[in-house]
Structure 1
């Protein structure tokens, strides 16, 4: 029937969702799920890679006994033993002048008695030479990591020589032919696999992992005798030769001896090569050292690495230091007790690598490290009574745990500050001098004293002699120069007056001490973050509040896209502009820039109060253009700060702020105090107005006409501004009167690329991120909350402060934390404008280095697997953990604010 309506059956008709929509939902959900899980997995994998690279830094050292053999010499017969870097051969020198080159038999060949062996399964003698010394060798001096040697003889002469291993690579055919010609019954088949060795001519050949044949042999030279004394040479030490590669100027060899008649003498041998004839002219001078009453009978004589000091110590630990800066006027500089408050005897005294730190071991098994510092750098009571003629003092900087018995031997590494200590009981321990780390203990060979202790040149092996046996160990020391203490706490490095946090990862010489403290880098990271957020976050938040709560829709559509466009500027461009444009300009107008920090906000606020003084009919008519009313005030503030800059520099900074900063003893510190006291005073006046004055005067002037009310408010603003200035000047003058000068704290020496520049440019870079998120958070506040507040009579400003901002606090906090993370991980701006100086001060006029920039600079040059390489990965892990911790705390705080906002 037409026109009739369908009868309602009571059943609800179900609408079917199109298959395309369902497919899109499922696909979107899958993509989002996979993407989220993938992101979490990727972050976890990054953390895992960092941990895998960092864990080896803290693994313990391993020591494995490779072989143990009888020594072919009598006890006390040899005077020196040296090992090559591949631990395949060595050379030894006996008292009667016999020089032997020996091959260390691999453990697989032990006991086979190969042809040419000496003493059964001990050493294979490669070459034996009788040196023409003319007398018995009574003293030997070598330098760790160097090939030069000085011999002291029984006839009172000294011989200067050079003993080094020379490496060549030979053709396999030559190897085969030579073995075939020999009658030793030894063939080239002996070299079947990498690492195999055999005697070849007057050296040792080894097959490398690349299948090459590497031959090493000992090359040596010995100069003519130098007459020193008529008595035998009892003790001897020397400095490594001053190698002058240019050939211009003389080369010096300096040595010190103690003769058999107890005389200390200094020898200086000068060699000069003629550029025309090529002949070398050598001359020598012998100087007598003055007597030291403090030292009874020297048991050790030593020359410091810089060639300016001679040390003589007796068995009781009494040490005399002689200054030899002027050979014609050698003076006793100071006398030191190496064993204070102890009845022990000094049993070993020698240098570690670099010849700056002195190792001392005593009869109680105690070990310590000593080096020089400048007395003027230490003003504490402990050094008040120290006296020296040259202004330096030898101090005990490192102390190690006592061993099981007296120290009987010592061996220093030629690559690091590690050293080996042998004891009378046969025990042996490995330490690191700078970090004071106990690296490892070695299995004793027996109960006899360790007489010889050597660390292989590559720190991968150890040789010990005790009780007529020689033990060869494989060593994997790990990273003894890295400990948690050295990474995050002060360490006492050579030559410094106190423990310091320092980062110095490169050096021109192996003897120089590398320093891997992360504290300056962490400090620089927080410094960059602090100054950048100090500049960027207030501007970004205030801009978000303005566009969200006060700007018209038309203004908002212009301002917000313009601010967000700032995020499109690449960091490298901002860093380039900061380093090459801003930094030189700011350097010329530093006082004006400092004045702008205070003058520009004052002028903007002044513009706001002047706006209130306008007649109401005019202000309502130009209300949409009030932003443009403040722009002239902004530029007026910048120009006024520029004009006031020279005057402020004359009034507060002696007419030159750079000179004022580096001379704390001159001028007044008031100018520095004002930089921090003016903001603090302004906050104090704001609190006084909000919680004191406002409640008192508003109830009395609330019924006055608008023009009078605005005029009174303007007068109050000027009065509080004057009070702020007077309070800052008064407190700053008081601090200056009592002697508190801010120079050297948050202000100090001016560097062109500094925290002020980075704070401005990086703050500029982070403004768009904070602004966008904060603006979105403010915009999501429900409109009925604003309406309710305004309906109750609150002003828009009161509504914003007491209703909108608390409600959007979780979003505002998230904006700050995201900006914080952006600044913490920033690299290019800090790299180009931060100065890259790894220091830990908070001087706004100085540079810094952050964790991220340090990784970017040094990781491409770091040797893979080295301490430097792994510490850089540790830096990345620390940065990862810092950001993770900050984000976790931020999320907890955000959720707290969100729970409070939900209650509204």
Structure 2
């Protein structure tokens, strides 16, 4: 028994060990599988969340009919109608000067025949006679503004204002008010959210939160301003929000045409006395000069949003633009034909929001958008024939699909560039001016010519009159200001001479045109990646080659942990140093910084050749410490750059590089060409040396002593350096003589926080990642491959270049791709040192904004669910897809190099 016990115990221990190892393998396999699958699921969930936020951008609009009733007014009776933002009430002015406050009657959801039982669309809340002397012959209003100007049949104009005032009523007060009402008002009609009743000359509505929101209309009307002896036929005015008064009070500028077809410009300044408190109107009238050789009568008269121009438009489409900036010298600036097709007449002409873009609709159903540009910004043959006395010209920037009939009505949104067009056959179409998107179509049930088309103030409803019917629609327009073409292709924005890619997501005014082009952000992402990798990748790869193949073990144990410790520096610290330390210093010594890109490599190579000249016994003894001799060489290269900087600036950059950059007409562009031609010429000379001159060189000096060979190599290096610089200077001179100046391309106006600083700092941040992975990849190459190469007589350098690097190419490529992903997703360094300017040039002296930085800056301030909010998610999705695509391509290339390495 004593002999069998140890054997049994040993078997049990082996079985226990076997099961322990097996369970460890199963557990490890499970943990790894769960981790891998969990990572894939997490990435897919991120993509899904981004898609869920982005997809609504591209959903089509929806229109739902709410109510259709008989028109409650006689044709031509009203001169203007306006809705409130909740679509519960409105106000209208009739031609006899009556202001009516009305409540929109909603259909009774419990009565299927409500439309036939209640034929009226409105219930009059209050009527007010604004004046008794005369009738309204014309009216001028402005989208998004509350003021108006009335033109009278007696030749006067009157300035007024109508506003919706909102208050919230105490529920107790509402209940007591209900008790006092007659049986005609019952709680049956005011018991659900959204219900409305007339209350204190206004309308009260129950909100979804159970509150009672009351709205009333408040109005003012100024004294008559005498303009003409005949009726005012046409009228337009500049809203008070756009006007500027020299008298410190309110100011209104209007243009009018009277019954005698005389065009007049009026400026009314309101001045309030500080002593008496009385208001006095100071009116000045100016006559607009007639058009030479043209007796046609204008059909429309308009003033632009800046108050610089008056437009008189005829039915034939002929537009005459008057420059009114100098009121004492009004002149005809230009004439434009809005309807170039023969036999077609202009039927509608009005402003969209902001009064900068002019909508024109004609009798063939064609629609277009026009705005003013500066001719000097557009050197184009199409505009060479335009005669303009003030240097500006109206251009047709947007063209929309033609409709089924003549354009008969137009309505602009008060919060976006969306507008509705009504046609003679009862159809209406919604468009967006900036993106030219066709949002939706709708058809009135009984057809008829559309006479009135309005978009609710919140873009959530439509109010359309056609024939003898008036209809109310619920509108969900989606995001008409966003299309794929507007996100990635140039868009023609107001005031610009040509279509551009721009990002401007916020503004101080609602009227300003927002710009959501992702191209500058994508360009900035690639720009940051390029300059950062241009600086960091070569240093990291060469450092990995050195520590893996040429340094001693002791040096490698010291250098590698030191470089890896660089990765522990937070990016916010690097960004802080870049913005507040490096950028101000570099701004003072820009020429020296540029010269250091060439003097430092030159000094390192010069030091290498001088090392070869030293006695071999001395160099062998100092072989373990040769890395430390690089320090004085680096100092020498930096000192050379600092010493040569002022001389280079005086020689190539007129003594001031910043002024040289912003004035292409001064000096020559040779200095700029040298920045790109010197690396190019170095590459050309190196290829020429390796493939053409190297065989002759080795055959000539192969038997020379070591010292002689080293001296000849140094002389060859200095000669090639001189030839390289001379070639670059000669090519730069020829390009400059040919009229090709690099200013405005990869170099341009200098900004303190620029791509040069970001490339240096972000390259510094990415060096540890690329270095560590490349060093590991090179170290993992089997040693027998090195031994075989060295045994065949190859040098260490030849073995490294022709054996080790090709074998480790898959790992080196992976290191570059991981570094690329690190740079592409970097946020804080770019945020603090990149300038945050969303531009698309490749100027190394200018800043940029990347996709990741843009999301970090603007997402906290974006309104949830808005176009801006969803476009930011779309930009995150674009960054995700770009990274995914780059990684996929990188993996394919890595596998290719890996298969080639196996063949070795």
Unaligned ranges ≥5, structure 1: none
Q: 1:65 to 1:344 in 2, by over 3 A?
A: same
**CA distance, structure 2, for counterparts of residue 150 and residue 134 of structure 1:** 16
Q: Is the 8 A contact 2:137 2:233 kept in 1?
A: yes
Q: Is the 8 A contact 1:445 1:469 kept in 2?
A: no
In the TM superposition, 1:321-720 aligns within 5 A as 321-720=321-720
Unaligned ranges ≥5, structure 2: none
In the TM superposition, 1:7-406 aligns within 5 A as 17-108=17-108, 120-183=119-182, 185-242=184-241, 249-293=248-292, 294=294, 296-406=296-406
Q: 1:580 to 1:14 in 2, by over 3 A?
A: closer
**CA distance, structure 1, for counterparts of residue 421 and residue 193 of structure 2:** 33
| Deviation of 1:92 (Å) | 1.4
Deviates more, 1:176-185 or 1:807-816: 176-185
| Deviation of 1:728 (Å) | 0.2
Q: 1:112 to 1:814 in 2, by over 3 A?
A: closer
**CA distance, structure 2, for counterparts of residue 850 and residue 646 of structure 1:** 34
CA offsets 1:735-786 (integer angstroms, 9 cap, x no match): 0111110000000000000000000000000000000000000000110111
Deviates more, 1:172-181 or 1:682-691: 172-181
Q: Is the 8 A contact 1:247 1:273 kept in 2?
A: no
| Deviation of 1:25 (Å) | 2.4
**CA distance, structure 2, for counterparts of residue 14 and residue 99 of structure 1:** 102
Q: 1:646 to 1:553 in 2, by over 3 A?
A: same
Specify the SS of the correspondent of 1:177.
Answer: helix
**CA distance, structure 2, for counterparts of residue 242 and residue 352 of structure 1:** 16
Deviates more, 1:742-751 or 1:177-186: 177-186
**CA distance, structure 1, for counterparts of residue 342 and residue 439 of structure 2:** 26
Specify the SS of the correspondent of 2:668.
Answer: coil
**CA distance, structure 1, for counterparts of residue 778 and residue 836 of structure 2:** 38
Matched residue count: 896
**CA distance, structure 1, for counterparts of residue 584 and residue 272 of structure 2:** 50
**CA distance, structure 2, for counterparts of residue 626 and residue 109 of structure 1:** 91
**CA distance, structure 2, for counterparts of residue 869 and residue 138 of structure 1:** 45
Q: Is the 8 A contact 1:111 1:121 kept in 2?
A: no
**CA distance, structure 2, for counterparts of residue 274 and residue 112 of structure 1:** 60
Q: 1:83 to 1:131 in 2, by over 3 A?
A: same
**CA distance, structure 2, for counterparts of residue 484 and residue 189 of structure 1:** 48
| Deviation of 1:446 (Å) | 2.5
**CA distance, structure 2, for counterparts of residue 122 and residue 706 of structure 1:** 105
In the TM superposition, 1:808-823 aligns within 5 A as 808-823=808-823
Normalised TM-score (structure 1): 0.97
**CA distance, structure 1, for counterparts of residue 297 and residue 428 of structure 2:** 29
Q: 1:402 to 1:314 in 2, by over 3 A?
A: same
| Deviation of 1:625 (Å) | 1.3
**CA distance, structure 2, for counterparts of residue 652 and residue 131 of structure 1:** 75
Specify the SS of the correspondent of 1:108.
Answer: coil
In the TM superposition, 1:849-888 aligns within 5 A as 849-888=849-888
| Deviation of 1:14 (Å) | 8.1
**CA distance, structure 2, for counterparts of residue 272 and residue 122 of structure 1:** 42
CA offsets 1:205-246 (integer angstroms, 9 cap, x no match): 100111110011111111111111011010110111147999
**CA distance, structure 2, for counterparts of residue 257 and residue 837 of structure 1:** 44
Q: 1:434 to 1:136 in 2, by over 3 A?
A: same
Task: State whether structure 2 residue 888 is matched by structure 1 residue 891.
Answer: no
Q: 1:112 to 1:619 in 2, by over 3 A?
A: closer
CA offsets 1:687-727 (integer angstroms, 9 cap, x no match): 01110111111022212211111111111111111111011
**CA distance, structure 2, for counterparts of residue 107 and residue 248 of structure 1:** 51
| Deviation of 1:171 (Å) | 1.0
**CA distance, structure 2, for counterparts of residue 80 and residue 485 of structure 1:** 37
Deviates more, 1:699-708 or 1:579-588: 699-708
Q: Is the 8 A contact 2:245 2:251 kept in 1?
A: no
**CA distance, structure 2, for counterparts of residue 264 and residue 636 of structure 1:** 78
**CA distance, structure 2, for counterparts of residue 14 and residue 217 of structure 1:** 92
Q: Is the 8 A contact 2:247 2:269 kept in 1?
A: no
Normalised TM-score (structure 2): 0.97
CA offsets 1:479-524 (integer angstroms, 9 cap, x no match): 0000000000000000000000000000111000100000000000
Q: 1:135 to 1:600 in 2, by over 3 A?
A: same
Q: Is the 8 A contact 1:827 1:853 kept in 2?
A: yes
1:784 counterpart residue number: 784
| Deviation of 1:106 (Å) | 1.1
| Deviation of 1:188 (Å) | 3.9
Deviates more, 1:765-774 or 1:201-210: 201-210
